[in-house]
Amino acid sequence: MNFIKTSIHGVVICEPIVHSDNRGYFIETYRQDKLEEFIGYKVNFCQDNESKSSYGVLRGFHYQVPPYSQAKLVRVTKGKVLDVVVDIRKNSPTFGKHVAVELSDDNHRQLFIPRGFAHAYVVLSDEAIFAYKVDDYYSKECDKGIIFNDSELNIDWKLGHSKLELAERDKLLPKLNETTDLFEYTDNLHV
């Protein structure tokens, strides 16, 4: 497994080593010891989630606030998505900045997202199956979000807005500067 730092501290691209031949391929999709060694702290994933979506579906930006904030390890098992995370830690040097990474069943890339970040993705293929691990359980009361088209975030979704399909809930989310549910900045990303 190769780990690649991104422009935002703590957000990490994980690239598994693909062993392939004429029969197919084998990859190790997760190694807790190697990930923890790279990020410098323990992560105890407790829940796996999966969603299937069609072309143009945009899910997010979502995050959970304490006491149920979540770190995530996300990947695509079928299709292709543009995965985007935004730093929502007040007073962070990268507050409001984002990282966008293409995840697909061809590149096998994964993205590790620490606590304190909002997460979204848009499907770029006919359909996509998106799978992810989280290190705390889902809590409806702690579930928050930010609108995908906040002009301050300046995100290129690779598709025109008329091609995007969102849940009604996601269309009503506030802009980043309108939300009060943000994280306090700390270099300690696992709290």
Nearest partner of 91 among 191, 7, 184, judged by Cα: 184
Nearest in space to 17 (alpha carbons), one of 42, 36, 34, 38: 34
Q: Which residues are catalytic?
A: 62, 132
- Looking at the DSSP bridge assignments, the partners of residue 76 are 130
**Calpha distance 107→74 (Å, rounded):** 13
Distance CA 87, CA 98 (A): 6
Q: What is the 3-state secondary structure (H, E, C) of 94-122?
A: CCCCEEEEEEECCCCCEEEECCCEEEEEE
Q: Is the Cβ–Cβ distance between 87 and 67 less than 8 Å?
A: no
Sequence-separated (6 or more) residues with CB below 8 Å from residue 41: 188, 189, 190
